[in-house]
A = this chain, B = another copy of it.
């Protein structure tokens, strides 16, 4: 038996995506997908005293919008599976406090959105929950000061750096479509659990390179486990490899005999325009969350694409592990989404 074979889960009942909502920061609103987000913030502190409190309010906005869009009270969400980039994932946990619904906190760095969908999908598919609300969020100003430097320093980013996206995305899954509202054509059919891959990258300003091997590994296993090829997907979307990491993924995939053949796109590269000057463009777990909720899922719902392999990609280091000389482990979980009439 192929030891890795069992890491691809098949969702027999194919849970439905019922709703999705995205809230994006001002810089993300100026990007190519700015018009696709449900809300673009003008004040990235959202009127709060601290950026952390603002980030929490942003996540709550996305969660509440996803429920309001289908006219359901929050108590009907089933449970919340969510995470963010802050220490002790305080954004998700304090948001969960406001909502008073069952909560499972996840930490997958920027892979959190697909980790939530994979686990939420299994809970709904297996009949353990009738619905599950999956979410991830990140904020440039909170992440920058936690992971790198005080904002006041105005540090210049090196060429391979990516900018942490300010954004929150929420996706409501359900066992059956709602009678008169919500999405009804997007379903989860399978998912692949990521393995930690580490090629020894130690440059914390080049996380795209650290995550590309994990993305390649998971794409390869997903296709092999299902006996499929890249051509079976309209899009293969990675979370936040950015421009450099995306080129590296395409190279690694070619070497592994998996030509992605123009089907690959990366949320990090899609979220900003080159002229915005953010080097290798976007990262952060909010990056794949808002692109999924604001762009990929609506395109699937409309039938403009029929099958998408979506992989949020995470770099599992910490400032402390970097100080202690560790390289950066990467991970990518994949979820296969289909349009069905």
Interface positions of A from 280 to 326, Cβ below 8 Å from B: 316-321, 324, 326
Contacts A88-B107, A94-B326 given: A102-B317 contact, CB under 8 Å? no
CA–CA, A87 and B316, complex, Å = 10
Residue pair A78, B122 in contact (C-beta under 8 Å):
no
Residue pair A93, B50 in contact (C-beta under 8 Å):
no
The residues of B that contact A90 with a CB separation of less than 8 Å are: 316-318, 320-321, 326
Residue pair A195, B106 in contact (C-beta under 8 Å):
no
A212 lies within 8 A of chain B by Cβ: no
A33 lies within 8 A of chain B by Cβ: no
CA–CA, A96 and B129, complex, Å = 28
The residues of B that contact A88 with a CB separation of less than 8 Å are: 87, 107, 109, 316-318, 321
A9 lies within 8 A of chain B by Cβ: yes
The residues of B that contact A115 with a CB separation of less than 8 Å are: 104-105
A100 lies within 8 A of chain B by Cβ: yes
The residues of B that contact A329 with a CB separation of less than 8 Å are: 93-94, 96-97
Contacts A105-B316, A107-B88 given: A100-B196 contact, CB under 8 Å? yes
Residue pair B75, A3 in contact (C-beta under 8 Å):
yes
Q: 5 other contacts beyond A96-B331, A105-B106, with CB at 8 A cut-off?
A: A9-B129, A90-B316, A90-B321, A97-B329, A122-B128
29 CB contacts below 8 A, A to B, read: A3-B75, A49-B324, A52-B320, A79-B193, A86-B318, A87-B88, A88-B317, A88-B318, A89-B107, A93-B316, A94-B326, A94-B329, A96-B316, A96-B329, A97-B196, A100-B195, A102-B195, A103-B193, A104-B106, A104-B333, A105-B115, A105-B331, A107-B107, A119-B119, A122-B126, A122-B128, A125-B126, A126-B128, A146-B320
Which positions in A face B, CB cutoff 8 Å?
Answer: 3-4, 6-7, 9, 49-50, 52-53, 75-76, 78-79, 83, 86-90, 93-94, 96-97, 100-109, 115, 118-119, 122-123, 125-130, 146, 193-196, 198, 316-321, 324, 326, 329, 331, 333
